[in-house]
Amino acid sequence: MSDYEWFKKAVYDLTKIDLNAYKEKQMKRRIDTLIGKYEAKGYDEFAGMLKKDREVLNTFVNYLTINVSEFFRNPDQWRLMDQQMVPELMGKFGKNLKIWSAACSTGDEPYTIVMLLSKHVPLNQINILATDLDTVAIAKAKLGVYNEKEISGVPSEFKSKYFTKTPDGMFAVSNDIKSRVTFKQADLLRDPYPKNYHLIVCRNVLIYFTEEAKDITFRKYYEALAPGGILFIGATEQIINYKDIGFERKNSFYYERPSK
Ligand SMILES: C[S@@+](CC[C@H](N)C(=O)[O-])C[C@H]1O[C@@H](n2cnc3c(N)ncnc32)[C@H](O)[C@@H]1O
């Protein structure tokens, strides 16, 4: 077994994160950078540090998971969601949509969904499930405090309505928005998927998965959707074998599980 193979096993034993499901070159490059930062001599010594020091382990998981996110990331996608997807889904399923933001990172994405939906229904009718692997990202999401760059894409009417400036120049999202989202820690590779969702939003995470892990995940999303439900993926992503899975392609980034 190579050093890296052994390291992947050690990481799995410690964290239950399966590095085999992520693109190896990219992942190895990130891990090697972190090993350099901690001045460890190699995978073996670094695994020892991860075992001994909870702080190093948390930093490792947080670094590995790449939490980059921002509100209204890729505005064209959100415009289409506002003008096409949401009216279409409400026409089919009514106003109380079941929505899952999978790999929600620091909360920017599920809070974006709540703001956008607030144009269509009263806030108290909105309930979003938001999950991520990384507990540090979820803690930040629950706190709901962001810097200027992270909220730079928020339309001005929402900025004034739903954010307050903190004394240290950050922006806190209002409780009215926060209370509409339920955050949970969950691993897309291991944990069971919920059922009967009308909209699943999963953007900018499967790009890190191997083709095999990606295919398994798309199939699980298909099963997690109600017939007529929609899977919304990242602007640079696509599902090549969508027909094979059973999806209907509505647009390069949104796919429907056809109604029976
Ligand atoms: C680049 S962020 C994307 C955030 C958001 N969806 C967006 O597009 O702005 C990727 C997120 O995927 C999460 N992630 C990585 N592997 C995961 C897994 N196996 N299960 C659940 N979440 C995972 C990371 O923790 C990270 O928060």
CA pair distance 138, 196, nearest whole angstrom? 24
The pLDDT score that the predictor gives to residue 5 is 93
Give yes or no for residue 118 CB within 6 A of ligand 1: no
* pLDDT band per the 50, 70, 90 thresholds, residue 90: very high
Give yes or no for residue 128 CB within 6 A of ligand 1: no
The pLDDT score that the predictor gives to residue 64 is 86
The pLDDT score that the predictor gives to residue 62 is 87
Q: Which CATH superfamily is domain 75-256 in?
A: Vaccinia Virus protein VP39 (3.40.50.150)
- The Å distance, Cα 91 to ligand 1 centre, comes to 30
CA pair distance 102, 201, nearest whole angstrom? 6
Atom of ligand 1 nearest to the CA of 190: 19
Domain boundaries, the chain: 3-64, 75-256
pLDDT at 260 over 90: no
207-244 pLDDT, tens digit per residue, is 999 999 999 999 999 999 999 999 999 999 999 999 99
Give yes or no for residue 139 CB within 6 A of ligand 1: no
- Tokens representing 193? 């998927």
Greatest distance between any 2 Cα atoms in the chain: 59
Say whether 73 sits in a helix, a strand or coil: coil
- The Å distance, Cα 67 to ligand 1 centre, comes to 6
- Tokens representing 158? 């929402």
97-128 pLDDT, tens digit per residue, is 999 999 999 999 999 999 999 999 999 999 99
